[in-house]
Chain A
Amino acid sequence: MDNYDRLFGNAGYIARRIAGDISGPTAIPRRNGEPVFNEPWESRVFGAAVALCEQGLFEWEEFRERLIAEIAAADAARDQSAGPQSSYYERFLAALERLLIDKGICAKEEIEQHEVAEPTDEHEHR
């Protein structure tokens, strides 16, 4: 029962379910079969979504529905304009923000205030 406890009770289980989603629009970017984060914030936002889900704040499916919607919206917008496309993790971030607001976990104003409140070095605040 060791393996159940070790993997199914923690973030590994959710991360692996995400990893099992290897094709289609919500599949995470990979190179040589390996997950790819191009910027540090991408891994942070991914980690935050999984950790919150693990803590029971939402079901992964609730997040996934919003990710599908963000991707569809971004694809539709791309057809309209020639501007730069959003990346997978920009859509992922937008989906997480949408979900946090929909669930009443964070208010949009609070997020905006935090963005303004820490312009440079967050170590000062901690």
Chain B
Amino acid sequence: MSDKESEQSGHHPRPLSAAALRAKAIESLLVEKGLLASDAIDRVVEIYEKDVGPLNGAKVVARAWCDPGYKRRLLEDGTAAVAELGFGGLQGAHLVVVENTPKVHNVVCCTLCSCYPWPVLGLPPTWYKSLPYRSRIVREPRAVLREFGLELPESVEIRVWDSSAEIRYMVLPERPAATADMSEAELASLVTRDSMIGVGRL
């Protein structure tokens, strides 16, 4: 990861703690033994930071896929439905959950700042807060989604939801095919952060 590089090759490196030295020794030994590739660590950390963070949202999505009654309540009143699972703390804002279907794809942004439903999705990614995303996703959503690797057919309508201090949005992604046998916990493990922002699909 580039953080690691800059940390270690900086002009004024801080002295490393005993634990940091030990961790480095173990890593370099494992690399030397051919048991571990540095990029394997990078990959794990990336998955962990990106997809494991929004665990609460993933649980909400999986419950909605498994329980039609819950799904109905979630779409009617997101705040109350996520509170059923113990997730609150929206600081007075209301959570609105928007559902993806084969014909409609939803994507969330905050054009003015970085409003984000953090009790369910964790902390917003850097790009979510960036000016290019905030300004372009409303103007040219199809092009921006393409840059995220999401190519949607022209027949799919794209709806962009601009978050505010009062309303935070979250996307309910479509349940992937061939998951009928999976448990709710297994389903939750499939749900990514990007799919709940709407810049990715499952």
Q: Residues of A with Cβ closer than 8 Å to B? A: 1-3, 7, 10-13, 15-20, 22, 32-35, 39-48, 50-52, 54-55, 57, 87, 89-90, 93, 96-97, 100, 105-106, 110-112, 114-115, 117-118, 120-123, 125
Contact = CB atoms under 8 A, between A and B. Distances in A.
A9 B171 CA distance: 26
B118 interface: yes
Contacts of A22: 55
Nearest to B187: A3
Nearest to B89: A32
A10 B123 CA distance: 24
A121 B8 contact: yes
A117 B21 CA distance: 11
B51 interface: yes
* Nearest 6 interchain pairs by C-beta: A47-B41, A34-B122, A115-B25, A114-B25, A19-B52, A41-B20
A11 B20 contact: no
B44 interface: yes
Contact of A16 (B9, B122, B189): B189
Contacts of B52: 15-16, 18-19, 35
Interface of B: 1, 3-4, 7-9, 13, 16-17, 19-30, 32-33, 35-37, 40-45, 47-49, 51-56, 118-120, 122-123, 176, 178-179, 185, 189-190, 202
Given A2-B176, A44-B27, A48-B30, A33 B42 contact: no
Contacts of A39: 17, 20
A47 B178 CA distance: 30
**Chain B, interface SS category:** helix
A33 B23 contact: no
Contacts of B35: 52, 55, 57, 105
Contacts of B22: 93, 97, 111, 115
Nearest to B9: A123
Residue among B17, B27, B42, B44 with the highest chain A CB neighbour number at 10 A: B44
A20 B185 contact: yes
Contacts of B19: 41, 87, 89-90, 93
A87 B17 CA distance: 12
A93 B26 CA distance: 9
A122 B54 CA distance: 34
